[in-house]
Amino acid sequence: MLITHPERSILEGALDGTKTGKFYGDPFGQYVSTLKAVGKSCGVDFSLPWQQLSEHAKTLAMAGAGDEIFDVTWEYRRNKREGEHHFKGRWQGFVNLVNEEYGRKHADHRGNEMMDVMKKEECPACHGTRLCSEARSYEVQGIGIARLSAMKVSASIRFFKDPGFLFEHPALRTIASPLVQDILKRLEFIHGMGLSYLSIDRSSSTLSGGEAQRIRLAGQMGSGLTGITYVLDEPTVGLHPADVSRLMDMIRNLQRQDNTVVIVEHDRDVILSADHIIDLGPGAGSLGGKILAEGTPEEIMHNANSLTGPFLKTREFSVNQPERQLQPGLVIRNALANNLKEIDLTIPSGGIIAITGVSGSGKSSLIFDVLFVSWKNSKPIGCDHITGLEQFERLIPVHPRSEFTGSNGTAATFTGIFDKIRDLFAKSEDAIRLNLGKNHFSFLNKEGRCPHCQGAGKIRVSMDFMSDVSVICEECRGMRYNSMVLSCLYKDKTISEVLNMNFSEAAVFFGDQKLIPGQLKILENVGLGYLHLGQSLDTLSGGESQRLMLATELMKPMKGKNLYLFEEPSTGLHFLDIIHLNELFRSLADKGHTLLIIEHDPEIILHADWIIDMGPGGGDRGGSVVATGRIADILKNPDSITGIFLSKYIQNR
């Protein structure tokens, strides 16, 4: 996995295919210099292509040379600095060097960026069950706990509904009967959430946000608590519309147990099923925060102040778009990643392609575990054959980023807009007079940041047994910079005041510039005009981070045709925002780009030029292509759950 270009030598880029490999394979780095010394001492010519090296030479490069000490001449080159450094040391080998670094970084999750050169192997002692031999030795009806936990929820329900072991012994029946009933009840709750395709031993880190939330909700339903207020944040995320009614039945059960359920939601059917609606607005961010209307669904529909009411009353979305001419695109053969059942698929290009299907039907597996990974590795991964990728200049995955953590990154720095803003401040009269450069206006640079809070604007205070809290820095009062930098003004504003502007305000403020207004306009077009330039990335929702990624990609110069991969871009969007998002998608498709969109929202699916419906169920019941074609084809297909749902949706418009 380290040697990504075997036709090259280690000295000339054999390791360049990954970030980790590029670091250790730097021809002017200490590791390659050490390897040269090893080769000289052991009679191995590492300037030969990797594929021409002997097995002994390959083992020497990867596994090291033991305790032998080598005289190394390191000819380094760093930017404008060049020179030689002589030292003596051992050669550990690339594998040991990488493992050692991963061991240092793994504890605080920094090792995640090294996963490109890692693979997970099953533990030979427990065979992946995580249990000791004593725990594995006990069985019920010939089935151990590991095997039982590995069953899908649907199979587990069948097992516990016919528990033959209850009749083996009266004492066993007395003990086991209440346990079996409790297990069955909890399994039924998970099944009711549309998650019957999951296994009990499924790692929580592999669950989507919607799956994790519904698992927690199922756990609460089994608790039997009353008098509780539950707050749910978009529980329909990742859920096919066909499963929404079942989810609402489960939530109603919570309410019938004398609990209150408060739901943040954009799904029309969920809103209409509510007892009381609170409509907030009128805009987002600083433009919102007001209660526009509240009451029953019927009252909201007839309230002139409500932005949501008109969409509940009548669906005013337009679907009669001109039929776009699609071009030959991708051909995938024998895709079998995760639960995909060796499917063959042809995906057209030059338009909006919607990937639909119930949760767990294989949509993400197809798009990200086959298509994206194959592009990334320049060869078929998760399938036998894939063609058509070469026609795209770039492949751009746009999905919620789990790495938006920490408070250093901001919306302005992520988009690159802040670089241009710092240039403007560095050219101001105040900055020139004080001899301040561009670096002084970065809150990450020690030359300009507040020394007390290190440019964070906040101080994290440990609360021992409680969660840490952040308080405003007393030194800079949350402005992030030292007093000298804050004395520099551009159009009578400090750099801190600019960071406190939202993108819409900044578009007006920088209206006389060449590039900045256009880039800020793109952010407004994706519905993010309310975000502040200095807003930390770790405060963004999944939908916001996804749209920020899309806007950032749209700011880059487009040379050829791109392939965009979206994962539920409607997450967190109001009906009005969906209209704007569809307009943005159409504009991209009109320019010849191809958009593959995993989506459940009917208004986005109905605007697609082509639909690929996966299923028919989730987990082991999914992984097949149920139907493909234009919307008319999907509506006429009796096997397509999405087609059946869309037909009802259109009839109720």
Percentage of residues of the chain with pLDDT beyond 90: 46
Dihedral of alpha carbons 368, 207, 235, 625, sign: positive
- How many domains does the chain fold into? 4
Q: Are residues 507 and 395 in the same domain?
A: no
Indicate whether 651 pLDDT > 90: no
Report pLDDT digits (tens) over 513-536: 988 998 998 888 888 888 999 988
Helices (H), 334-482: 363-364, 373-377, 411-415, 417-426, 429-433
Enter the pTM of the model: 0.73
CA 153 → CA 143, 337, 378, 571, distances in Å?
16, 21, 37, 27
Q: For residue 582, which of 284, 376, 316 has the smallest C-alpha distance?
A: 316
| Burial 594-630, CB ≥16 within 10 A → b, else e | bbbbbbbbbbbbbbbbbbbbbbbbbbebbbbbbbbbe
Strands (E), 369-453: 385-387, 394-398
Mean pLDDT of 17-32: 89
User: What pLDDT does residue 464 have?
Assistant: 63
Residue 304 located in a structural domain: no
Percentage of residues of the chain with pLDDT beyond 70: 94
CATH number, domain of 85, equals: 1.10.8.280
Q: Would you call 572 exposed, middle or buried from its count of C-beta atoms within 10 A (0-12, 13-18, 19+)? A: buried
Structural domain for 459, as ranges: 411-513
- More confidently predicted of 620 and 548: 548
| Burial 464-495, CB ≥16 within 10 A → b, else e | eeeeeeeeebeebebbbbbeebbebebeeebb
Indicate whether 406 pLDDT > 60: no
Q: Are residues 111 and 17 in the same domain?
A: yes
pLDDT category of residue 407 using cuts at 50, 70 and 90: low
Q: Cα 391 to chain center, whole Å?
A: 26
What span, in angstroms and rounded, lies between the C-alpha atoms of 243 and 245? 6
CATH number, domain of 509, equals: 1.20.1580.10
What span, in angstroms and rounded, lies between the C-alpha atoms of 402 and 415? 17
Q: Are residues 169 and 269 in the same domain?
A: yes
Q: For residue 434, which of 375, 498, 485 has the smallest C-alpha distance?
A: 485
Indicate whether 216 pLDDT > 60: yes
Indicate whether 317 pLDDT > 60: no
Mean pLDDT of 183-209: 83
pLDDT category of residue 605 using cuts at 50, 70 and 90: very high
Residue 300 located in a structural domain: no
Q: Are residues 269 and 158 in the same domain?
A: yes
User: What pLDDT does residue 112 have?
Assistant: 67
Q: Are residues 392 and 363 in the same domain?
A: yes
User: What pLDDT does residue 109 have?
Assistant: 59
Residue 96 located in a structural domain: yes
Q: Are residues 421 and 360 in the same domain?
A: no
Residue 4 located in a structural domain: no
The DSSP H or E segment spanning 220 is helix 209-221
User: What pLDDT does residue 106 have?
Assistant: 66
pLDDT category of residue 619 using cuts at 50, 70 and 90: confident
Mean pLDDT of 3-19: 89
User: What pLDDT does residue 341 have?
Assistant: 92
Dihedral of alpha carbons 525, 527, 530, 533, sign: negative
Indicate whether 468 pLDDT > 80: no
pLDDT category of residue 335 using cuts at 50, 70 and 90: very high
pLDDT category of residue 94 using cuts at 50, 70 and 90: very high
pLDDT category of residue 400 using cuts at 50, 70 and 90: low
Dihedral of alpha carbons 253, 256, 261, 266, sign: positive
Residue 419 located in a structural domain: yes
Three-state SS for 247-289 is: HHHHHHHHHHCCCEEEEECCCHHHHHCCCCEEEEECCCHHHCC
Any idea of the CA torsion for 437, 438, 444, 450, to the nearest 10 degrees?
A: 50
User: What pLDDT does residue 532 have?
Assistant: 92
Lowest mean pLDDT among 29-33, 206-210, 378-382, 387-391: 206-210
385-387 and 610-615 beta bridge pairing: unpaired
Is residue 362 within 8 A of residue 614, CB to CB? The reply is yes
pLDDT category of residue 559 using cuts at 50, 70 and 90: confident
DSSP letter for each residue of 71-95: EEEEEEEETTEEEEEEEEE----HH
Strand order across the 610-615 sheet = 394-398, 562-567, 594-598, 352-356, 610-615, 624-629
CA 590 → CA 84, 256, 561, 586, distances in Å?
55, 50, 11, 6
Other C-beta atoms within 10 Å of 255: how many?
A: 12
Which of 234, 259, 275 is the last residue in one of the domains? 275
Q: Are residues 387 and 451 in the same domain?
A: no
User: What pLDDT does residue 237 have?
Assistant: 80
pLDDT category of residue 49 using cuts at 50, 70 and 90: very high
What secondary structure letter does DSSP report for 367?
A: I
594-598 and 562-567 beta bridge pairing: parallel
Q: Are residues 564 and 644 in the same domain?
A: yes
Taking each helix axis from N to C end, the angle separating 516-525 and 417-426, rounded to the nearest 10 degrees, works out to: 150
pLDDT category of residue 77 using cuts at 50, 70 and 90: confident
Residue 202 located in a structural domain: yes
Taking the CA of residue 161 as centre, how many other CA atoms within 13 Å lie in the half-sphere pointing to its CB?
9
Residue 422 located in a structural domain: yes
What span, in angstroms and rounded, lies between the C-alpha atoms of 226 and 54? 71
Q: Are residues 231 and 336 in the same domain?
A: no
The DSSP H or E segment spanning 323 is none
Indicate whether 403 pLDDT > 70: no
User: What pLDDT does residue 583 have?
Assistant: 86
Phi, psi at 383, each rounded to 5°: -155, 170
Question: By three-state DSSP, how is residue 118 classified?
Answer: coil
User: What pLDDT does residue 120 have?
Assistant: 81
pLDDT category of residue 482 using cuts at 50, 70 and 90: very high
What span, in angstroms and rounded, lies between the C-alpha atoms of 18 and 8? 15
Three-state SS for 508-551 is: HHCCCCCCHHHHHHHHHHCCCCCCECCCEHHHCCHHHHHHHHHH
What span, in angstroms and rounded, lies between the C-alpha atoms of 308 and 577? 11
Other C-beta atoms within 10 Å of 92: how many?
A: 17
CATH number, domain of 357, equals: 3.40.50.300
User: What pLDDT does residue 108 have?
Assistant: 58
Report pLDDT digits (tens) over 350-378: 999 999 998 888 898 999 999 999 998 88
What span, in angstroms and rounded, lies between the C-alpha atoms of 548 and 546? 5
624-629 and 610-615 beta bridge pairing: antiparallel
463, two tokens: 């609360």
Q: Are residues 231 and 352 in the same domain?
A: no
Residue 86 located in a structural domain: yes
State which amino acid sits at residue 415: T
Q: Are residues 262 and 153 in the same domain?
A: yes
pLDDT category of residue 154 using cuts at 50, 70 and 90: confident
Is residue 614 within 8 A of residue 335, CB to CB? The reply is no
Q: Are residues 378 and 434 in the same domain?
A: no
Mean pLDDT of 587-595: 92
Mean pLDDT of 548-567: 86
Is residue 263 within 8 A of residue 248, CB to CB? The reply is no
CA 180 → CA 147, 151, 167, 286, distances in Å?
17, 16, 13, 52
Mean pLDDT of 437-455: 90
Report pLDDT digits (tens) over 237-265: 878 887 788 788 888 988 998 999 999 99
